[in-house]
A = this chain, B = another copy of it.
Amino acid sequence: MTAALAGSGQSGGAELADLKVIAFDVFGTVVDWHSGIAAEAERLLPGVDGGAFALAWRAGYQPAMKCVMERMASDVGHGGGTGGFTLLDELHMSILEGVLRDFGQTDVDPALRRELNRAWHRLPAWPDAVAGLARLKKKYIICTLSNGNIGLLTEMAKGAGLPWDCVLSAEVFKAYKPDPRTYLGVAAVFDVAPGHVMLAAAHHDDLAAARACGLKTGYIERPNEFGAARPKDVSPQPDNSLHARDIDALADLLGC
């Protein structure tokens, strides 16, 4: 089975008939960060447990963004300004410093740290992603909506062959997901109502925030996002417009 109904929320064709844009979360949804970072850590830091290293690095991601957002908010009162926005490359590097310490890797020179940090630019696509996106691209505008910076996402796309129509990022909106400015920003970029945009993601919290802004939502199962040893619950949640095993299955569901 390549596609599953999500439950009562699974949309029929009518609700999605005027869909124009599909914005994709990237890390975990389109690319396999766990395997990619694990392999690069083991290549560049011989003897390190790559899987554990990848999990530790990724674990610093949400707290680092939260810290930036709190600082930005306190700088401008409650208005939610854009000053002090920090690129994910920089956040990854600062998290990396701590992870290297925790793994006893204290003598890694700056050039190697930089190469390691750029492993996020070289992540492999999930096996279905390139073909599934190519199918969706024929009918919809397909873009990224990731907290990754534009350069990171562009180099990743070039390396993995991801055929985006356009690379949208927290960097464009100067706010990270789940800030509404990101989801509503996609609709504004393409001058359409939020309901003409779908967020496709492997994370229910991201989808819930998009839905609160009026976007359609497509859940993509990625049971091995955290590695095959730590399978993730990928049960359908009925509030999503669609629930698909992978991106190819999303193309099936959307009649591409």
Contacts of A103 in B (CB 8 A): none
- Whether B166 pairs with A141 at a CB distance below 8 angstroms is no
Q: Does A242 make an interface contact (CB < 8 A)?
A: no
- Whether B89 pairs with A150 at a CB distance below 8 angstroms is no
- Whether B191 pairs with A151 at a CB distance below 8 angstroms is yes
| A151, B167: Cα distance in complex, Å | 11
Q: How large is the interface on A (under 10, 10 to 19, 20 to 34, 35 or more residues)?
A: 20 to 34
- Report the minimum CB–CB distance from A88 to chain B (whole Å): 12
| A190, B150: Cα distance in complex, Å | 8
Q: Does A157 make an interface contact (CB < 8 A)?
A: yes
Contacts of A168 in B (CB 8 A): 150
- Whether B172 pairs with A154 at a CB distance below 8 angstroms is no
Of residues 128 through 150 on chain A, the ones whose CB sits less than 8 Å from some CB of chain B are: 141, 143, 149-150
| A189, B155: Cα distance in complex, Å | 11
- Whether B167 pairs with A141 at a CB distance below 8 angstroms is no
Contacts of A151 in B (CB 8 A): 189-191
- Whether B154 pairs with A190 at a CB distance below 8 angstroms is yes
- Whether A150 pairs with B191 at a CB distance below 8 angstroms is no
1/0 contact string of A162-206 vs chain B (CB within 8 Å): 001111100110000000000000000111000000000000000
| A149, B168: Cα distance in complex, Å | 13
Q: Does A158 make an interface contact (CB < 8 A)?
A: yes
Of residues 197 through 252 on chain A, the ones whose CB sits less than 8 Å from some CB of chain B are: none
| A164, B164: Cα distance in complex, Å | 9
| A29, B141: Cα distance in complex, Å | 24
- Report the minimum CB–CB distance from A146 to chain B (whole Å): 13
| A83, B151: Cα distance in complex, Å | 24
| A165, B162: Cα distance in complex, Å | 10
- Whether A141 pairs with B165 at a CB distance below 8 angstroms is no
| A166, B167: Cα distance in complex, Å | 6
Knowing that A151-B189, A153-B166, A171-B172 are A-B contacts, what are 4 other residue pairs whose CB atoms are under 8 Å apart, sorted by A's residue number?
A89-B191, A150-B166, A150-B168, A154-B190
29 A-B contact pairs sorted by A residue (CB < 8 Å): A82-B82, A89-B191, A141-B154, A141-B155, A141-B158, A143-B154, A149-B189, A150-B166, A150-B168, A150-B172, A150-B189, A151-B189, A151-B190, A151-B191, A153-B166, A154-B165, A154-B166, A154-B189, A154-B190, A155-B190, A157-B165, A158-B165, A164-B166, A166-B166, A166-B167, A167-B167, A171-B172, A171-B189, A172-B172
